[in-house]
Structure 1
Amino acid sequence: MRNRNRLDNNSSEQARGSPHLLRLDVSKAAPPPSFFRCPISLEVMLSPVSLCTGVTYDRSSIQRWLDAGNTTCPATMQSLSSTELVPNLTLRRLIHLWSSSYTSSSHQYIPSSLSELARMLSDPTADEDYKLRLLSSDALRPSALASLFLAPETLDIGVTLVSLLLSLDLVDAERKRELVAALLSDLDATVAGLVAVFKGAEYSSSRVAAARVLEMLIAEERTAMAGKPVMVTELVRLIGESDGEAVDAGLRCLTRLVGAGRRMRAEMVRMGVIPALTNVMEREEVQIPAAAVENAMRVMVAAVGIGEGRAAFCAEAERNVAAVVGRMIKVGNEGREAAVGVLWRVCCCGGGDRRARKAAAVAKGGLGKILVVMQGDCSPLVRRMAVDLLRVFRATSKSSMTAAGYDSMTIHITPY
């Protein structure tokens, strides 16, 4: 019998109820030595590291254990005098030699579980021909992957695999479209599965994977996805996480959803997107990528485009205006234009809100930053908005100085 990465009929049924790969034809595939497997994940280690107890683990597995607040060795339960992870270079070389000998021969090692399959497909050192052979597995057919969303025990690995395949350059565009179509064919089940991952996944990497799958679904069928407002709650929660990658993934989804119409934007505002976006802008630059902050600006300008959004923004005008002004120059041109749009909509649209105008007048470096945007490569519309904002800033500043007893006809613009 040929040593193919293929599932038989019985094993195909099992895959829908088990996170393990359905039985593969591995009659010629020698299993890896037991000490190549991580004591936590029980899978072949990609980056073996040793604790002070002398036990070796895969780096990703032991790092999650330590990040969870554990202070003992999982295998021996000894207290750790140090949490330093020392690379086990000898074992890493042995694993690499073993892996190379199989990926370069006809007797290739077949992953024994879906999670191990995902790890091998995402391994940048793995041979491309070997990956293509793994991709031919029946377990990775679009219908088989979509079925993993139906059972709680396969949901997490299903989302991980779908996210991985949608991002792999080795997977052609047609197959990606088929995969998205399979997920959209039972949209209720797919959305329910993604929401379950957002709510219950132990690690942020799973929620990031869910957001990436969701982004692809929105890109393909935004109208249909807009009819599933349950997602908004989880996306707003996601952009509040400490992990910058999770924040970026959530904002990418929200950026696509704001174009679905007024009802979707109103739902976002109702779910608290305004304070969540402000939190993103207030965080340290090293924590959040500039592209994520730019997306936050884009979502904010769409949110304040409706009355409910402006009301929510102006309820905490001083803080929200300060956050927008503070990041205005630290993003790309599109983000700067969105920032001007936010300020114009709360300060000028329909006469503006008194609280927002007052907050804008005292925002640190506000006038100078508006001038910088005007002098840059902005659109004619944004330039007109900036001119309106300058008038508002000056008028509000003069009123404030007169009320305070000042008699000056000039405004000194402090460089940001």
Structure 2
Amino acid sequence: MVLGWRRRKNNNHKGVKQNVEVIVPNHFMCPISLDLMKDPVTLSTGITYDRQNVEKWFDEGNCTCPVTYQIVRNLDMTPNHSLRILTQDWCVENKQHGVERIPTPRIPVSRFDVAELLIQVKASARGLDQYGCLELVHKMKRLGNEMERNKRCIVENGAPGALASAFDAFANDSIERNVNVLEEILSALNWMFPLKLEAHKYLGSKASLTCMVWFLKQQGLSGKEKSIVTLKELLSFGDEKHVEALSEIEGVCELLVEFINKRISPTITKASMRVVWYLVSSSSPCSDKMKLAFVELDLVSSLLDILIESEKSLCEKALAIFESLCSIEQGREKGYSNYLTVPLLVKKILRVSALTTEYCISSIWKMCKLGEKDDEKRVIVEAFHVGAFQKILLVLQVGCGDKIKEKATELLKLMNPYRAHLECIDSDYKNLKRSF
């Protein structure tokens, strides 16, 4: 097989362009991509490939050697330094023909390197050596930034659990004294999501949660973002103990509502809304207490303001929280008292996503069926006036889940008696302004 690169050369005397072909030796080519190997590695089968190509081959679920088709039980890859040096020398020799020298690849971190690093992290945490631990976390972050393979190796070999354990240890000692190492650990953990059970256990401790809330209060934008994103990751695991522990920390509800109102960054706003949703939608005994706390902080009005002018993902989160708050009397009362509530809920049906449609219908249903008779009539009449009947009917026609189908059908039955003598106004609310 003949492989080559072509380069156009100028003849300065005659102005004539010529083709110069450079023949690339076959043993410099990766059998998978047929390109020059930048980082040749040899498998246990004796065949050499470019590291990136063969790793992709195994990541796709293959378990055989691409050339010999033997089953590869040992995925260790031995760097072929001799072949790499020969390839680089060949590139230098053909530099005048436009061949660029292949840079010497960085040596990937091994699981043994990671194991040794984590032993040192755990030892520094036990001794509360914040400077030693800080240096190790910096090293881990540098290795992870070098290549994606290093990140995977670090995460898969237990780094999240070790770092979460160290975070808990330093938070238990003193947040103020260990603030630098705590922030660096949190920053490193942020590129290791999703975290496993061991890491969740340590991050869900009272000391760790208190430290993250402290960061939300005291740190700059970066520290706030890392903390709120970690809290979102932690609560997504679905452990009620974490919800209860976070709900007991003083000032956490006020902070979350403040972040939602001020919108100091998209990351903080979205993560805060997700944390609020986990708090109010859990099956924990403290869930109703959290709902009441958020209602008293006037979160309902903030959510309605978000629905007026925000993009899809924020609308979905706002409606998810609003629907949950409608489960308690105080939440429904806040909804009744705001003249934008029903028009906005009807407007969002079939306008954003299937998920928002379900939340809107469920919210209207709760405001009708869980409230007083007068409230039910008022909501039904208002919803009918702004076009809910036609929209809900269309939802049933295009299809929806069984639970929403039942609620939608019940709402249609409630609105049906008003069709003969009430006018339906399918209004557009583009000109609605914020309430403050």
| TM-score class, shorter | 0.5 to 0.7
Instruction: Say whether 1:183 aligns with 2:203.
Output: yes
- Out of 105, 124, 143, the position equivalent to 1:12 is 124
* Worse overlay, 188-197 or 250-259: 250-259
Instruction: Say whether 1:193 aligns with 2:219.
Output: no
- Measured in 2, the distance between the counterparts of 1:133 and 1:224 equals 26
Match of 2:96 in 1: none
- Out of 264, 267, 270, the position equivalent to 1:245 is 267
The 5 A counterparts of 1:84-95 are none
> Which amino acid letter does the alignment assign opposite residue 273 of structure 2?
L
Match of 1:265 in 2: 291
Instruction: Say whether 1:339 aligns with 2:360.
Output: yes
Uncovered stretches (5+) of structure 2, i.e. residues with no partner: 1-111, 430-436
Question: Contact 1:374/1:383 (CA < 8 Å) preserved in 2?
Answer: yes
**Displacement, 1:413?**
6.0
What SS is found at the alignment partner of 1:239?
A: helix
Instruction: Say whether 1:144 aligns with 2:173.
Output: no
Q: TM-score, normalised by structure 2?
A: 0.57
Instruction: Say whether 1:386 aligns with 2:408.
Output: yes
Match of 1:254 in 2: 276
The 5 A counterparts of 1:4-403 are 5=117, 12=124, 16=128, 18=130, 21-22=132-133, 112=135, 114=137, 117-118=140-141, 121=144, 123=145, 126-129=147-150, 132=153, 140-149=162-171, 150-152=174-176, 153-154=179-180, 155-167=182-194, 176-184=196-204, 187-203=205-221, 205-218=222-235, 219-229=237-247, 230=249, 231-240=252-261, 241-257=263-279, 258-259=281-282, 260=284, 261-285=287-311, 290-316=312-338, 318-349=339-370, 350-351=372-373, 353=375, 356-363=379-386, 365-393=387-415
- Measured in 2, the distance between the counterparts of 1:195 and 1:130 equals 27
What SS is found at the alignment partner of 2:193?
A: helix
Uncovered stretches (5+) of structure 1, i.e. residues with no partner: 24-111, 168-172, 402-410
**Displacement, 1:326?**
2.7
- Measured in 2, the distance between the counterparts of 1:14 and 1:163 equals 23
**Displacement, 1:12?**
2.0
> Which amino acid letter does the alignment assign opposite residue 214 of structure 1?
L
> Which amino acid letter does the alignment assign opposite residue 399 of structure 2?
D
- Measured in 1, the distance between the counterparts of 2:351 and 2:132 equals 47
**Displacement, 1:296?**
2.4
Match of 1:54 in 2: none
Query: Larger Cα Rg: Structure 1 or Structure 2?
Result: 2
Size of the aligned set, in residue pairs, is 299
Deviations along 1:124-157, whole A, 9 cap, x unmatched?
x625247736977799544213234342323433
Deviations along 1:170-224, whole A, 9 cap, x unmatched?
xxx6xx321211233xx22122112112222321x43333233223433252245
Identity of aligned residues (%): 16
**Displacement, 1:303?**
0.9
- Measured in 2, the distance between the counterparts of 1:307 and 1:361 equals 23
- Measured in 1, the distance between the counterparts of 2:197 and 2:267 equals 25
Deviations along 1:201-259, whole A, 9 cap, x unmatched?
321x4333323322343325224522542433333333331533323222222332212
Residues 370, 242 of structure 1: alpha-carbon distance in 2 compared, 3 angstrom cutoff: farther
Match of 2:74 in 1: none
- Measured in 1, the distance between the counterparts of 2:127 and 2:344 equals 49
Deviations along 1:377-411, whole A, 9 cap, x unmatched?
2234423422443455565676666xxxxxxxxx5
Residues 120, 413 of structure 1: alpha-carbon distance in 2 compared, 3 angstrom cutoff: same
- Measured in 2, the distance between the counterparts of 1:269 and 1:183 equals 28
Match of 2:93 in 1: none
Deviations along 1:99-122, whole A, 9 cap, x unmatched?
xxxxxxxxxxxxx5746754663x
Match of 2:84 in 1: none
What SS is found at the alignment partner of 1:164?
A: coil
Q: TM-score, normalised by structure 1?
A: 0.59
Question: Contact 1:217/1:225 (CA < 8 Å) preserved in 2?
Answer: no
Residues 414, 237 of structure 1: alpha-carbon distance in 2 compared, 3 angstrom cutoff: closer
Question: Contact 2:163/2:189 (CA < 8 Å) preserved in 1?
Answer: no
